[in-house]
Chains A and B, each alone.
Chain A
Amino acid sequence: MHPHDARPIGPPAGPAPAAAPLPLEVTGITKVFRTKRRGPFSRRKTGPPRKRAALDSVSFKVPEGEIYGILGANGSGKSTLIRILCTLLLPDRGQVRVFGHDVAKEPAAVRPLLNRVSVDPSFFKPLSALENLLFFGRAYGIDGPEVRRKSKEILHRLGIDDEHMREPMLHLSRGQQQKVAVARAFLSAPRLMLLDEPTTGLDPRSKREVQAFITEVRRETQTTILLTTHDMDEAEQLCDRMGFLSGGRLVAEGTPLELRKQVAAGRSLEEVDMETVFLELTGRSIEEDEDEDEAENEGSAGPEEVAD
């Protein structure tokens, strides 16, 4: 048995009161993208726009204090899901509730409750880490001196020294920039944290530091975390439960132990690694890219309207 499977599921300090709304409740979310028509001087023929369901009737719930992992290959719909959760994309069908608030209808109530680390550490690169964090901290209603103090504290914990904090971010490595992105997200102490492949592209040491920080914050603040990743080891190490996303559909869900049991078929659980579980439950390898990103990069448009 994997050591993680012995760990109790859910919040370390006991379950939330029965009446309390769940941190995250996703019900039948669907999002379809269409590729755009070509411009008047394009050599490609215009034709009917290509439709693709980036998410197809996805439903799951995350209780307070849990780390829930969404595992899927590149293009499986993970980032689309995160964008819907953090009010940046409107679903075509279905509903997402964050602590009882509908993300599409009550975005102003949802936004103070969550924050996000995206796979790309997006910053104003000419500004320093501290200047960037000062802006984003203030945007979440934290006073300037408090932002500076907390930023330094978190960045120190993540291994960024004072000198690097004051350099323009374009001088920082990819790993250092991602750590600043983690600091930005945790600065506002969100009750629901959305981590969209937070360690992709990091060197092993930075990866360990970020993972340790996530574990520590979860333990001390009981922050509920949704983690998307295609790193099986990371998912097993951090997540209480996980769901497999493939072709925009959530095809399996459970604890690592439950998922292993589903495919063990008489084999010892130690013999069944998570990659095998993913392969058997989704019918494809996690390394096999799907084409969600391609569709979006070509210029996505909503279901009713075709761009340009």
Chain B
Amino acid sequence: MTTVELVRARPPSRVGLGWAFFERQTNLWKRYWAWEVVWLVYGVVNTLAITFIANEAGRSATVPKGEIPRLTMFLLIGTLVWAYLSAILDDMSLTIMWERWEGTIEHTLMAPVPRVVHLIGMSVFGVIHALLRTILIMVCALPFFDVQLAGADWLTAAVVIAVGSVSLVGLGILAGILPLLYPERGEQMSFMVQALVLLVSGVYYSVAVLPGWLQAVSAFSPATYLLRGIRDALLNGTALNDEAGLVGILALFGVVLVPASLIVFGVAERWAKKTGRLKRQG
């Protein structure tokens, strides 16, 4: 009989533990590359379908011809930022839902990994994955439109995306709570939350067109400031100094949302453990 030598686990580094989740998501992504193609095609078609509205506005003279390139960029930025944001939220909620259905959630939650490392590891993958997918959508969509980016301030745009992504990590962790508690309906419930963010954040229109009470709600969505900052940078060429206030608001969202989402996830996990909700479903 072969002797099996076992090595006792030792205290691991947090980076190593976080890498476990990043690597697992990457392996899953490689196995499901065909789905990635489907989502890419959907993203490109969605971007084109919405941005062509600008061309229609020009053709029917609804908008002065000189404003068409600006409207095109406005819609293009909206669709791309939305693709980015929804990919992050989807990654988190789908992974938790998947773990519920496969039953691995119990093994994941009983592993000696601090929850903050677990969730941040998944979120880092979600952000990089969403960024790559959005860049690909942009590369595929740009040739269809006459886009003028000569006056764009790319540094401002990059800083706004980087800082804004931290708050999106917080939203992603919150999106993962619903499938944790409600494996059958949680994903649909997280779509509902996404739809609310879509409505109030000025993705395809300025928040100024919303009724007053919805404008008030929009102030609590980090996506509102993310979109405004990117549009300011790419449409108006706003310098980073002039966007310091907006970047500060985005940073504040990150500072508040990430710890808050971790605390809420912890409360939800404890409630799930109290009520026996972690048992395999599926």
Contact = CB atoms under 8 A, between A and B. Distances in A.
Contacts of A111: 110-112
A235 interface: no
Given A108-B114, A140-B111, A141-B9, A220 B3 contact: yes
A90 to B, nearest CB: 5
B103 A120 contact: yes
Interface in A80-102: 80, 83, 86-90
B111 A154 contact: no
Given A33-B276, A138-B19, A139-B111, A189 B103 contact: no
Nearest to B104: A122
A86 B9 contact: no
Contact of A108 (B19, B31, B112): B112
A142 B275 CA distance: 32
Interface residues of B, number: 46
Contact of A300 (B9, B11, B24, B276): B276
Contacts of A156: 2
Contact of B4 (A131, A139, A157, A300): A157
Interface string B21-48: 1011001100110000000000000000
Nearest to B99: A124
Contact of B6 (A136, A141, A150, A307): A150
Given A139-B17, A156-B2, A126 B31 contact: yes
B28 A150 contact: no
B59 interface: no
A150 B126 CA distance: 30
B146 interface: no
B66 to A, nearest CB: 51
A138 B270 CA distance: 24
Task: Pick from A88, A118, A139, A307 the residue with the most CB of B within 10 Å.
Answer: A139
A241 interface: no
B282 to A, nearest CB: 10
Interface of B: 1-12, 16-17, 19-21, 23-24, 27-28, 31-32, 98, 102-104, 106-114, 270-271, 273-280
